[in-house]
Amino acid sequence: MTELLQIRRALISVSDKTGLIDLAKALIGYGIDLISTGGTATAIREAGLKVTEVSELTGFPEMMGGRVKTLHPNVHGGLLGLRDSKLHISEMGKHDIKNIDLLIVNLYPFEETVEAGFDFNKCIEKIDIGGPAMLRSAAKNHKFVNVLTDTEDYKNLLDELQKNNGKTSYCFRRTLALTAFSRTASYDSAVSEWLAKSTGQIPKRLTISGELVEELRYGENPHQVASFYKTGLTDSGLAGITKWQGKELSYNNINDTDAALNLISEFNQDPKPVCVIIKHANPCGVAFGRTLKDAYLSALACDMTSAFGGIVAFNKILDEETARELIKLFTEVVIAPDITKSAKKVFDTKKNLRLLTSSKSKKSGCEQNQIRSVSGGFLVQSLDNFEVSTSELKFVTKREPTSGEARDLIFAWKVAKHVKSNAIVFVKNGATKGIGAGQMSRVDSTRMASLKFQDLTSLSTQSMENEGELALASDAFFPFPDGLIKAVEAGVTSIIQPGGSLRDKEVIEVADKLDIAMVFTGKRHFRH
Which pLDDT score is estimated for 65?
A: 75
Beta bridge partners of 436: 424
Which pLDDT score is estimated for 373?
A: 87
Per-residue pLDDT tens over the stretch 268-308: 888 999 999 999 999 999 999 999 999 999 999 999 999 99
Active site residue 418: no
pLDDT of 179 > 50? The answer is yes
Q: Are 78 and 95 in contact (CB under 8 A)?
A: no
Beta bridge partners of 9: 33
pLDDT of 472 > 50? The answer is yes
Compute the average pLDDT of residues 239-261: 92
Which pLDDT score is estimated for 427?
A: 95
Which pLDDT score is estimated for 286?
A: 96
Nearest to 310 by CA among 243, 260, 348, 361: 260
Helix (H) or strand (E) holding 75: helix 73-80
Per-residue pLDDT tens over the stretch 195-232: 888 888 888 888 888 888 889 999 999 999 999 988 86
pLDDT of 374 > 50? The answer is yes
Residues 6+ apart with CB under 8 A from 389: 410
pLDDT of 482 > 60? The answer is yes
**0.85 cut: is pTM over it?**
no
Position 192 confidence tier, pLDDT thresholds 50, 70, 90: confident
pLDDT of 463 > 60? The answer is no
Per-residue pLDDT tens over the stretch 78-125: 999 999 899 999 998 999 899 999 999 998 888 888 887 888 888 888
Q: What is the β-pairing status of strands 494-497 and 471-474? A: parallel
Active site residue 363: no
In order, the DSSP letters of 121-182 are HHHHHT--SHHHHHHHHHHHTTTT-EEE--GGGHHHHHHHHHHTTSEE-HHHHHHHHHHHHH
Position 1 confidence tier, pLDDT thresholds 50, 70, 90: very low
Compute the average pLDDT of residues 249-255: 93
pLDDT of 363 > 50? The answer is no
Could you say which of 167, 280, 344, 350 is catalytic? 280
Which pLDDT score is estimated for 32?
A: 93
Q: Across the beta sheet with 517-520, what order do the strands follow?
A: 242-245, 354-357, 331-336, 310-314, 274-279, 282-288, 431-436, 424-428, 471-474, 494-497, 517-520, 394-395
pLDDT of 415 > 90? The answer is yes
Which pLDDT score is estimated for 366?
A: 43
Average pLDDT, the chain: 89
Which pLDDT score is estimated for 360?
A: 57
Domains of the chain: 5-199 (3.40.50.1380), 242-357 (3.40.140.20), 392-520 (3.40.140.20)
Which pLDDT score is estimated for 211?
A: 83
Encoded amino acid at 240, one letter: G
